[in-house]
Every structure is written in structure tokens, then in C-alpha cells.
Homo-oligomer: A and B are copies of this chain.
Amino acid sequence: MSLYSFVKVQVEDFDLSTEVKILRTGHKDIGAVVSFVGTVRDINEGDDISVLELEHYPGMTEKALENIRLEAHERWPLQSSLIIHRIGEMQPCDQIVLVAVTSRHREAAFEAAHFIMDYLKTNAPFWKKETFPNGETRWVDARVTDKEAETRWLK
């Protein structure tokens, strides 16, 4: 483990600018930084959401995220990359996940960030549970479109 890990699974919120600044530090020749922030939507499949709970598989989650990150570095010429995924209870508009990558040129940065998100969606062991205003709960179903998105990157 290095002093600063590029995969973080945490309860705490994150600040986009701060994380991007850290990600750029110590790297020369960066021309492009692409970042993705996933946020809690206030509506899912037509229903109002009041709370979103994120469960994960400690140990396996970090390993899965690191594998996806390393795979991105093998496929594209990246200078650095970072994945932060929050767990626990969140409200609408809260930030859930951050993926940020740096590269010399924008093409690699856009592709790699998109790839990491698509793979994270179908390969990292997180599960979402929604609570509605009336107190009822529902485990979020996996989306077919996420599985389709992943196939785009098959070699």
C-alpha cells in the first residue's frame, strides 16, 4: 500500500477540486483531466427517493476497484487515476462516486474515465437500497443498459 491510495471506499463526502489537485500533483505533462461525479437522483423509475443506502463487500470492493483502475492504465496512456466510492446513507443530490483520470491528451482521458465507470457499475460489489417518502424500501435492480455498456469495452 502506498501512502496515498487511489481507491477509496468511504462514508465521508469528497471535494472534487481537492481530489483533482492531489491527482495532478507530482505528474508532469498532463494536458487533460476528466472527472465523473455520480449523484443521488431524487427520482428513480418514476418514484421519489428520500434516502439511498449503499452497501458493499469490504475487501472485495477495494480489490475490484483497483483491478478496474489498473486495467484502464493498461489500455490507455494515463498519468494518474482515482476512484472514490461512498457507502452508507445518502440523500438526493449527494455525491456517491468520483472517477478522475489525467492524461496528456483528452481522448485517452475521456475513454478511460468512461471505461472505469462502465466497469465499476457491473463489477464492483456495491448494492443500492432506496427508501421512499412513505418509509418503504426497495433494492435497486441492476440495469440491462449497464451490462450493455460494459460490452462496448470487450477486446
Contact = CB atoms under 8 A, between A and B. Distances in A.
Interface of A: 15-18, 20, 24, 28-43, 93, 104, 106-107, 109-110, 113-114, 117, 145, 149
Contacts of A15: 17
| Copies, count | 2
Contact of A29 (B41, B104, B110, B117): B41
Given A36-B106, A106-B117, A109-B36, A43 B28 contact: yes
Contacts of A114: 106, 110
Nearest to A98: B33
21 contacts: A15-B17, A16-B16, A16-B17, A17-B17, A28-B42, A30-B41, A30-B93, A31-B38, A32-B36, A32-B38, A33-B37, A33-B38, A34-B34, A34-B36, A35-B35, A36-B106, A36-B110, A107-B145, A110-B110, A110-B114, A110-B117
Question: DSSP majority for the A interface?
Answer: mixed
Given A15-B17, A20-B16, A41 B31 contact: yes
